[in-house]
Amino acid sequence: MASIFIYSFFFLITNRFYVALLAQTFQDSTKQTAVIILLLFFIISLFYKVESRVYDDLRRSRFTQGTLFKFILVLFVGVLAAMTGAFLLEFSYKLGNAFNSTVWITQHKGIFIYNSVMLFFIILLFYSIFGNIFGSAMVFLSFAGLFSFTNYQKRNLLGDPLFPSDFLQVTHIQNVIPMIEGFVSVPLLIAALAGVVFLFLLIRFLPKLNIRLRYRFLLLLLSLVMTYSLIYHPKTYMKSFAEMANIQITPWNQLTNYINNGFLAAFISNLYIDVFEEPEGYSKNYVLKVASEIKEANAKNVLPKYNKEINSPNVIFLMNESFWDPTRLNAEFSEDPLKTVRSHMNEGMGGDLLSPMFGGGTANVEFEALTGYSMSFLQPGAIPYQQLVDMQPGIMSFVGSLKDKGYSTLAIHPYEKYVYKRNRVYSSLGFDRFLGVEDMDYQQRSGPFVSDEALTDQIINELKGNNESMFIHAVSMQNHFPYDKGRYPKNEVSVDGLSESSNDMLEVFTEGIRQADDAVKRLTEEIEKLNEPTILVFWGDHLPILGSDKALYKEADFAGITKTNEETREYFETPYFVFANFNIPKLENEAPISPIYLGPIVFEITGLKSAPFYNFLTRLRQEIPGLKRDLYIDSSNNEIENFTDEQKVLLEQYKLIQYDLLVGEQYSKSILFDLE
């Protein structure tokens, strides 16, 4: 550590303290820099005895025993550790690019100082507890390193930064680790652990700098007050300090929020930002007025109903994990892996679904489908299953609406039931039963997860064994990442045109899609044989993770990723189709639809009587079929840049009603879910 410090110090002096150049040198001339640091380490080691005597003399001197020296040393170690931690966090957000990190810091000095001050008081908090500044700094840096590593992995795989809500999943970490271990560098982990062990061993040879218990208590109070004040600066006396540092929180645009304010300030801001901000003018009278207007508008605009002769058909929602069309990539495939799904999309009702997520967040996609509530109004990073649904009694949903009509409601997910709190959330949404992997009669695996074929067997078994009209919501698991070579005994579809490693990864993913397509074929054939009317709604939840930082997408130049913004709509379009063993129409437009419309579509084509809320969503679909944060698509399949007056009114009404039903007092419930 000393040799690195000496090298960095002299480098900065000779280069006018150009920190970015130091970072670039470490990154571009790693071997040369390492040799110089090793030579310095060797020279320092030669004079170890002399240095040890000087250190012993200093330690016994009056000055080093004095309070002033202790104060200076605590201040120096605390500031150094805080700045190191602040750099680590920014380094992780910039995906390990030291040069970009230091350039950002030099351009945002005020914010970096603010973040460092916040971390400094956290270190003092540790010091007041442990009574050892060096040990406190090591504990803090260990946490900062783990935090940075977690943020790096999420940014690298999903493209999104870490949000506080992500830590709601910490109880499921044992299930997450096997999924990401292929993307983690084992040598890097070993080196990091070795470094932590070395630093903690080094603490034994450093002075303790003990202070009296009463002073530690005062320090504890000071650090708690300052940490709280800095974190919640909009409501404390630190607001002016934050303004001087040029921190400007933009909760409505988290990409801008993290870029402009840095990782730490942006992350902290999400602690006090509401998941769903209250709409302006929210009150009982206003909500009742809007709800009544919606109901009256529905009465005037009678929406078409098909198949009025169909009586309470079985309804199946099948959300398939990472189901997507890989042939949209610039690669060569020996055959079409989704023949069945493509056939249903082209010949019946189907097309593209505009998912609110990329690479993960399955629960947020099914939240839209089961409730009719849009993620576009919630803060980025929100997980409504864990933050909202479980907090609000009696969430109105498509599930509950069918249950009120006498349906038996069942959810099936071949994985652990407590992930995303499904074991509690599903009952809140109106499900009578929930089958997790341990409850299923069919548990055959294909790769590491329960196969789509087994899930199909379970669905068919439930349909044939129940005399009531059923609503089954099934979420598959087989095609979850990672897509490592050798996952399946044989890949039926060969892939060419990319690098060898990319071809291998894509072949594994494509084999999962092919097997899912075969399972769909068998399910639709079985539905055809059923005596009772049955409708199947199938869709993919999100695009897959194909390599770190979208590596395979970039290699295949998907959606012009190397030329345009990565957040193009193509990264959120998955296949969907609606199939039934009775006649159903095709949709009138070719634009992608959001999952919020799947329930209303079922009501529309089956003739089932629907509440005003779902009729309202059908009206909204006619104007804005594709609805996602910062992306709105009209019925002509064009992105909406300027809303019409009608579109503005519909969106404002939708946001107000969704807030009322999901977070607020549910004033509109009796009006919008009244079937009379």
What does the pLDDT read at residue 564? 46
Fill in the amino acid letter for 332. E
What does the pLDDT read at residue 208? 66
Q: 455 with 519: CB under 8 angstroms?
A: yes
Q: What is the 3-state secondary structure (H, E, C) of 436-461?
A: CHHHCCCCCEECCEECHHHHHHHHHH
311 φ/ψ sector (left φ>0, alpha ψ -120 to 50, else beta): beta
Q: Which helix (H) or strand (E) holds 627?
A: strand 626-628
Q: Which helix (H) or strand (E) holds 266?
A: helix 254-272
What single string gives the DSSP state of each residue in 31-54? HHHHHHHHHHHHHHHHTHHHHHHH
Spell out a b/e string for 128-151, using b for 16 or more CB atoms within 10 Å of the CB, else e.
Answer: beebbbbbbbbbbbbebbebbbeb
Q: Which helix (H) or strand (E) holds 573?
A: strand 573-580
Strand ranges (DSSP E) for 39-138?
none
**Six-digit token string for 408:** 């038996």
**Six-digit token string for 462:** 């439930």
pTM across the whole model: 0.76
CA dist., res. 103 & res. 192, Å (int)? 25
Q: What torsion, rounded to 10 degrees, do the Cα atoms 139, 142, 148, 152 define? A: -160
Which part of the chain has CATH 3.40.720.10? 311-609+622-651
Strand order in the sheet with 573-580: 349-354, 573-580, 534-540, 314-320, 470-475, 408-412, 433-435
What does the pLDDT read at residue 256? 73
Say whether the peptide bond before residue 482 is cis (omega within 30 degrees of 0).
yes
What does the pLDDT read at residue 379? 86
Which residues have CB under 8 Å from 1's CB, separation 6+?
Answer: none
| Burial class of residue 46 (count of CB atoms within 10 Å of its CB; 0-12, 13-18, 19+) | exposed
**Which residues of the chain have a pLDDT value below 70?**
1-69, 158-159, 168-192, 195-196, 198-210, 251-255, 299-309, 560-567, 588-589, 675-676
What does the pLDDT read at residue 301? 59
- CATH code, residues 311-609+622-651: 3.40.720.10
**Six-digit token string for 189:** 């982990």
Q: Angle 133-158/67-93 helices, nearest 10 degrees?
A: 10
What single string gives the DSSP state of each residue in 349-404? EEEEEE-S-SSS-HHHHHHHHHH---GGGSPTT--HIIIIITTSSS---HHHHHHH
